[in-house]
Amino acid sequence: MNQGLQFDDTGRLRHLLTIEGLSRQTILEILDTAESFISVGQREIKKIPLLRGKTVVNLFFEFSTRTRTTFEIAAKRLSADVINLSVGTSSTAKGETLLDTIRNLEAMHTDLFVVRHGESGAAHMIARHVPPHVRIINAGDGRHAHPTQGLLDMFTIRRHKGDFGKLKVAIVGDILHSRVARSQIHALKALGVDELRVVAPKTLLPTAVEKLGVIPCSRMEDGLDGVDVVMMLRLQRERMQGAHIPSEHEYFNLFGLTPVKLALAAKDAIVLHPGPMNRGLEIDSAVADGPQSVILPQVTYGIAVRMAVMALIMGGSPGRREETHPVAASRARAVVTTRKRK
Amino acid sequence: MSLVIQGGHLIDPANRVNGEKNLYIDDNGFVVGVGKSPPGFKARITVKAQGKIVCPGLVDLRARLREPGLEYKATIESEVHAAVAAGITTLCCPPDTLPVIDTPAMAQMLQSRAWRFGLAFIHPLGALTQRLEGKLLADMEALDEAGCVGFTNALSPVTDTLVMRRALEYAATLDLTVFLHAEDPWLRNGGCVHEGEIGTRLGLPGIPEAAETVGVARDLALIEQTGCRAHFCGLSSARAAAMVAAAQKKGLPVSADTTAHHLHLTEHDIGDFNTLCHVRPPLRGRHDREGLRKALANGIISAICSDHQPHEPDAKLAPFARSEPGISALETLLPLTLRLVDEKLLTLEEAIARLTHQPAQIIGVETGHLGLGATADICIFDPEARWTLIEDRLVSRGHNTPFLGQTFHGQVTHTLVGGKLVYESPPA
C-alpha cells in the first residue's frame, strides 16, 4: 500500500515514511549499512564525504531534542549541510499552511527534508507534493510512525540478541498514542519474530490492535512471561487528564518495569526505551541503569541508523547494490568491523 | 411550453408505474397525461427518450451549497447547475451556513436566490436552536412559514439533554420533523476516522461506533417520550441501523437516510491518508457497510442522500485530521445508486424510490412523483451509457471526490424543472 509513495518506479527507496510495506530484505539492508557506519563515530575524524554538497533541512513542527540532534549529527557525519528549523513557533503560527512552508524551503534547493509533525500522515502528505528529486524522512508524525526509531530498535535487538525468528518480544506502555510502537510492530512483523505482545491497560490499547498481528495483554504477568526483549514506551504525564489512567502511582504499580516484573522475562532479556524516560513512572531506575538495559547504546546506534537511511535514500538502492554504488564504495573504505550475518 | 417525453421507460414508484409510457406536460409545467395524450394536446417540444429511463427528478435530503458564508468553496449558482446536471431537482440545505438559518429572512433569502436561477428547488432546513448553540430554541413556527421543511442542529450537538427534550416537544407541538445527526460529542472526542483497524494502523484518532449508537439511543428515548417525528441523518453503523429498525417496529415515527458513499466505501478506502475519504460521520468497517445496505434494501433506511460538501483544493491538502471532511457528491448520487442495482441489492424501481418519492415524503414536499397534476420535475437518464468521472466534467465547484477515475453506468441526458428543460447532456 505504501509502495507507491515510498519507492520510485524501479523499486528503490525514495522516502522513508513508515516501516509498513518495507520488506525484510530492505530492513536488513538498512541495518547492514548502519553496521558499516558505526565505525565512523569511533574514528578520529568522524566524517565521510557521502553527502557533500547536499542540503538537509531538519523541519520540526514538534519539539524534540534527541531525535533532531541525532539526525543533525548523522547528516554532518555524511558531510551534508544541515539546517535546523523549528517551525512550530514561526511561520505556521502566522497562518502559513504546511505545504507553503515546504514549498518555500524547496525553493531554497533542499535535497532532503527530515520532518517531524504532530499530525498523523503529515510526512505522507508532504511526500506526495514535493518534486521527484526531493527526499523525505519521517522523523515522527502524530501517532502514526517513527520509522528511524523502529529501525534503530531493530538494530539494537539484532546486535544483542541476533536471530529475530527465535525471539519473543513485548512492547509495554501507551500503545494507543505511540508512533514508536506502530513502527516497532511493523518492523518486528516484517523481520518475523516468533511472538509479539503489546502490554497496556485497555484504555491505552488501540481498537483492533490484533489486526496488526500482535497479541494484546493487559497484565504484565501475561505480557512479560518468558520474553527475550522488553520494549518500554514513554508515558505522557498528561494521560491522567484524558481518564486513561487514574494516577502515576497506580500506573507504576501495575505497568512500571521493576526488577521484580523484569524477572518474569527470560534471564538474559534486554530492555529498550526510546527516551526520554520517566523514571518511577514507566520504568524503575534499577532497571533503566541495570545490566539488562540497552537504552544508552540505542542512542549511539541511532546515529548510525539515521546515517544509513540518509545515505540509502539519497543515492542508494536497497536490494540491488553494485560495486560502484556510493554506499558500497564508501563502505569499502569505511568498514572496519562488519559483523558477519547469514 | 407544452412538451412530450416520447418513447421512454417511465418509472414512477409512487404511482406504481414501470413501463414504456409517454409523458405529457402542459404550458404551466404540470403533468397532464401519462401514457396517453390529453384531448387537444399539442406538444411544442418533443424530447425523444427511446432506450432511456424517465423518472421523477431526484430529491437530495442534504447538500451544502456553501452560500452564504463560504462562497470561496461554492455558490448556490454553481451548485444548482451541478444538481440539474446530475438529475437532482430538489435540494435540502442544512442550516449551518454563515449566518445560520435561524431566521425567516435567511430561509427566504436562500430560496429566492435559488429561484432566480430557475434550476433546482432549494428547501432550507431550519435551525433547531438559535445559532445552533444548543441552548435556546429557534423560532420554528416562523421558520416553517418561511419554507423550512425540517429542523436540525446539523453537526453541532445539542449536548444538553433537557434542551433536546424541549426542542422535540416543541417541534411535536407544531407537527414538525426534526432531523437528527445522532452523535455523542464526548465519545467523538475530536476523532476523524472510524475507531477500528485503519485508525489504529494510521494512528488517527478514532470515532467509536458507540458515539453513534449512544446518540441514537438517547434521541430514541426522547422521541418515544415526546412523540416527535424524527429523521436520522447519515447513519454510518450497522448497529445504529438496527436500533432504528427496532424503533420503527415499535411504531415510533422515525425515518433514516444514509449517504451514497457510506453504501460503497469503508475505512479501508482511506488507504494511506486519502483525505478525500475524510467524511463525517466516518466511513466504518465492511460489516457496517453491509448492515447499511441491508437496512436500505429492507426499507428501514428509506432515502439515499449525497451529503454534498464541495471544498476548495486547499481544504484537502493537509494532514488527514486537519483536512476538512466532506465529499463533492451531487454528481455521483445517481450513478452510485444505480451501482446498487447492478450489484442486485435493489431493483431499479426501489433505487429510484429511495432517491425521489421516499425522501420527498420525509420532507413532506409535493414532489418526487409524476402522477397527473404533479409538477414536472423530471430526470431522464440513459441506463446503458458508460462514462468515467474526470475532474473536467464535474460541474460542481468542488472537485473533492474519491470517485475520480471510476467508471459508472447510467448517465443523465435531460433534466426538467417545472416542465422546463433545464439541462441536456452535451452530445457525446
Q: With beta carbons under 8 A apart, name residues in chain A contacting B199.
A: 206-207
Substitution target in A2, A87, A143 with the highest count of B β-carbons within 10 Å is A143
In this prediction, residue A95 carries a pLDDT of 62
Residues of chain B with pLDDT > 90: what percent?
99
CA distance B328 to B401: 6
Give per-residue pLDDT as tens, B175-195.
999 999 999 999 999 999 999
Phi/psi at B147 (nearest 5 deg)?
A: 105, 5
- Cβ separation A1–B317 shorter than 8 A: no
Among chain B, residues having any CB pair with chain A shorter than 8 Å are 195-197, 199-206, 208, 271-273, 275, 314, 317-322
Count how many residues are written for chain B: 428
Domains, chain A, in order of start with CATH, read 3-145+302-334 (3.40.50.1370), 148-297 (3.40.50.1370)
pLDDT classification of A331: cutoffs 50, 70, 90 = very low
The type of residue at B327 is I
Bond before A276 cis per omega within 30 degrees: yes
Catalytically active residues of A are 66-67, 94, 116, 146
Average pLDDT estimate for B251-266: 98
Q: With beta carbons under 8 A apart, name residues in chain B contacting A142.
A: 203-204, 319, 321
Asked if the model's pLDDT at residue B422 lies above 70, the reply is yes
Min CA distance, B205 vs chain A (Å)? Answer: 8
Asked if the model's pLDDT at residue B348 lies above 80, the reply is yes
- Cβ separation A212–B272 shorter than 8 A: no
Min CA distance, B4 vs chain A (Å)? Answer: 52
SS3 of chain B = CCEEEECCEEEEHHHCEEEECCEEECCCCEEEEECCCCCCCCCCEEEECCCCEEEECEEECCECCCCCCCCCCCCHHHHHHHHHHCCEEEEEECCCCCCCCCCHHHHHHHHHHHHHHCCCEEEECEECEHHHCCCCECCHHHHHHCCCCCEECCCCCCCCHHHHHHHHHHHHHCCCEEEECCCCHHHHCCCCEECCHHHHHHCCCEECHHHHHHHHHHHHHHHHHHCCEEEECCCCCHHHHHHHHHHHHHCCCEEEEEECCCCCCCHHHHCCCCHHHCCCCCCCCHHHHHHHHHHHHHCCCCEEECCECCCCHHHHCCCHHHCCCCECCHHHHHHHHHHHHHCCCCCHHHHHHHHCHHHHHHHCCCCCCCCCCCECCEEEEEEEEEEECCHHHCCCCCCCCCCCCCEEEEEEEEEEECCEEEEECCCC
Average pLDDT estimate for A74-79: 95
Neighbours of B322 (CB within 10 A): 19
- Cβ separation A121–B271 shorter than 8 A: no
Average pLDDT estimate for B210-239: 98
Asked if the model's pLDDT at residue A323 lies above 60, the reply is no
In this prediction, residue A116 carries a pLDDT of 94
Give per-residue pLDDT as tens, A273-296.
998 999 999 999 999 999 999 999
Burial class (CB in 10 A: 0-12, 13-18, 19+), A308: buried
Average pLDDT estimate for B215-234: 97
- Cβ separation A124–B196 shorter than 8 A: no
DSSP string, A191-252: TT-SEEEEE--GGGS-TTGGGGT-EEESSHHHHHTT-SEEEE-PPPGGGGTTTS-S-HHHHH
Q: A259-263, A329-333, B256-260: which range is least confident on average? A: A329-333
Average pLDDT estimate for B416-423: 96
In this prediction, residue A89 carries a pLDDT of 53
Which uninterrupted H or E stretch holds A5?
A: helix A3-6
Closest C-alpha to B88, from B328, B373, B332: B332
Average pLDDT estimate for B58-87: 96
pLDDT classification of A11: cutoffs 50, 70, 90 = confident
CA distance A146 to A153: 11
CB nearest to B320's CB, from A121, A145, A208: A121
Query: Are the CB atoms for A135 and A113 separated by under 8 Å?
Result: yes
Burial class (CB in 10 A: 0-12, 13-18, 19+), A324: exposed
Query: How many Å separate Cα A21 from the centre of its chain?
Result: 15
Asked if the model's pLDDT at residue A320 lies above 90, the reply is no
Average pLDDT estimate for B119-140: 97
ipTM score above 0.85: yes
Give per-residue pLDDT as tens, B23-71.
999 999 999 999 999 999 999 999 999 999 999 999 999 999 999 999 9
Asked if the model's pLDDT at residue A333 lies above 50, the reply is no
pLDDT classification of A43: cutoffs 50, 70, 90 = confident
In this prediction, residue A182 carries a pLDDT of 97
In this prediction, residue B90 carries a pLDDT of 97
Higher pLDDT: B321 or A43? It is: B321
In this prediction, residue A93 carries a pLDDT of 56
Among chain A, residues having any CB pair with chain B shorter than 8 Å are 1-2, 5, 20, 97-99, 117, 119-122, 124-125, 129, 141-145, 179, 182, 206-209, 211-212
Give me the half-sphere count of Cα atoms (radius 13 Å) on the Cβ side of residue A251.
30
Substitution target in A119, A141, A177 with the highest count of B β-carbons within 10 Å is A119
CA distance A206 to A313: 32
CB nearest to A97's CB, from B202, B204, B314: B314
DSSP string, A266-309: -TT-EEE--S---BTTTB-HHHHTSTTB-HHHHHHHHHHHHHHH
pTM comes to: 0.91
- Cβ separation B320–A119 shorter than 8 A: yes
The strand pair at B303-305 and B254-259 is best described as: parallel
- Cβ separation A142–B319 shorter than 8 A: yes
- Cβ separation B314–A1 shorter than 8 A: no
Residues of chain A with pLDDT > 90: what percent?
71
Catalytically active residues of B are 307
Chains A and B: how many Cβ contacts under 8 Å?
77
- Cβ separation B199–A141 shorter than 8 A: no
Asked if the model's pLDDT at residue A97 lies above 50, the reply is yes
Neighbours of B421 (CB within 10 A): 17
In this prediction, residue A337 carries a pLDDT of 43
The residues, any chain, with a CB within 8 Å of residue A292's CB and separated by 6 or more, are A262, A268, A269, A270, A271
Query: Are the CB atoms for B128 and B153 separated by under 8 Å?
Result: yes
Min CA distance, B318 vs chain A (Å)? Answer: 7
SS3 A96: coil
Domains, chain B, in order of start with CATH, read 3-54+375-424 (2.30.40.10), 56-363 (3.20.20.140)
- Mean residue pLDDT of chain B comes to 96
In this prediction, residue A329 carries a pLDDT of 45
pLDDT classification of A57: cutoffs 50, 70, 90 = very high
Neighbours of B135 (CB within 10 A): 12
- Cβ separation B321–A120 shorter than 8 A: yes
Asked if the model's pLDDT at residue A336 lies above 90, the reply is no
Asked if the model's pLDDT at residue A180 lies above 60, the reply is yes
CB nearest to B319's CB, from A20, A119, A145: A119
In this prediction, residue A132 carries a pLDDT of 86
| Backbone CA torsion sign across B328, B274, B156, B176 | positive
The type of residue at B344 is K
- Cβ separation B203–A129 shorter than 8 A: no
Q: With beta carbons under 8 A apart, name residues in chain A contacting B205.
A: 143
CB nearest to A120's CB, from B197, B203, B208: B203
In this prediction, residue A176 carries a pLDDT of 95
Average pLDDT estimate for A297-324: 76
Q: With beta carbons under 8 A apart, name residues in chain B contacting A87.
A: none
In this prediction, residue A338 carries a pLDDT of 44
DSSP A318: T
In this prediction, residue A238 carries a pLDDT of 74
Average pLDDT estimate for B301-318: 96
In this prediction, residue A94 carries a pLDDT of 59
Which residue is associated with the grid cell 486513561?
A244
CA distance B58 to B56: 6
